[in-house]
Amino acid sequence: MKEISIPGSKSISNRVLLLAAIGQKPVLLKNLLESDDTVYMRAVLSSFGVKFSQNENGLLVSPPVYLKGDGQTHHIGNAGTVARFVSAVSLIINGEYGLKGVDRMHERPQADLFSALRNLGVEINCRENDGYLPATYRGMGGILNGRIVKLSGRVSSQFVSALLLVAPRITGGLRIEMDEVPPSQPYIEMTLEILKLWSVNFTIENEGRSMDIQEGLSAPESYTIPADMSGASYPAAWSTLTKSILNIKDFGSVTLQGDEEFLGICEHMGAQIKKDSEDCLFNAFSDPSPETTFDFSPMPDVAMTGMILSAFYEGEWKFVGLESLRVKECDRIQAMVDGFTLLGIKTQVAGDDVSIIGGAYWMNDDNISRMKSARITTNSHDDHRIAMCFGVLRSTLAQKVKSPAESLFKIGEPHCVAKTWPNFWNDLADWETQRVS
């Protein structure tokens, strides 16, 4: 049986980095993800006066009495959580600072968050297009123009989480009111669970549409970040597709992440899965259940992995709840459809809904020969999740047609996996060479 470990959660890593930075005592973070996104987060927080020191047990985060802007504009790549969370820091920081990123980051909308921050008194200067980075902020130091902020229920869950994370350092706290529950609600629930670990008091009303966060927080002495459930989808899909017995070590008994529901997709496709303490074992495989419609609104970051799974199984598999994929690191719907089309996999798109026509038809000898002779390179659009998804697809296809993976097609911008899983390609090769079924 093959045993593997996966990196710590990116979503949780950046949430607890921010909470540790605004607390009032040092906290030791264990199993923190080391990736582009957390590097950007730490760099910005360091410029605000936060101290970081690494030891054999983890990363010790020592917060200053008050965060202070350094007047500089900080590059954050294409890190969405950093853009949203650090924008909200403007509510509690003293002084000025700025954020900028890669071109794609400057295309990702932030207007709803900026509007909320401005209504609370923050001065935001968007240098190119209003509602988008690059932007500069003049901080409020925790004293706002009121403590109630109203949001549309269709905003990104990251906007809501950003406000929740800084709320405990706002004088009098913060009340967030929405006209409906946002999509990706599990990410908001994750943030609230983490706030509990920092001893933050809050009340939830109106079926989750109103949240009242009280002032004050107290950091634990240490916190261990659970494994990344979005990342876990790749070995989970690979094991299901190749029927390889696999144990994911330190999966976590309480992951706090909605993407854990992806295990249910793997079970629908025939995997038999057993949770044992902190581990997750894929230990047997059967035929998939009939074709169906999958709603990925609670877990959009793993929708693309679900599409990879469906491509190998007979039938028309429908995917809904994908609206947020249009404004991620790239247009993930289009990126997946374009990649599938290059490889000869049939798809149908209706608005933001996608159907994958799966089966063996695209794995025949003629198509494999065409694929090789065309020297295809899939476009990752500098998006780590697109690259890793097509990595799983290529690895699976290589085993099914008994051909070296590199001979089938290439994956563009493979380096972009550093955003969340820097050692992904080496780890994938290790799964392949030690396959046990």
Task: Kindly list the catalytic residues.
Answer: 301
**What kind and span of H or E run contains 303?**
helix 303-311
Give the residue from 285, 207, 231 showing the smallest Cα distance to 37. 231
Coil, strand or helix: which one is 105? helix
Coil, strand or helix: which one is 434? coil
Give the residue from 84, 81, 140, 134 showing the smallest Cα distance to 106. 134
Query: Tokens 């993800």 appear where?
Result: 33
Query: Tokens 């017995």 appear where?
Result: 245
Cα distance from N-terminal residue to C-terminal residue, the chain: 8
Q: How far apart are CA 105 and CA 95, in angstroms?
A: 24
Q: How far apart are CA 257 and CA 300, in angstroms?
A: 12
Q: How far apart are CA 70 and CA 48, in angstroms?
A: 7
Q: What is the dihedral of CA 89, 326, 228, 51, to 10 degrees?
A: -20
CA of 184: how far to CAs of 157, 300, 347, in Å? Answer: 6, 7, 25
Query: Tokens 């074992």 appear where?
Result: 281
DSSP-derived secondary structure for 118-179: HHTT-EEEESSSTTSSSEEEE--TT--S-SEEEE-TTS-HHHHHHHHHHGGGSTT-EEEEES
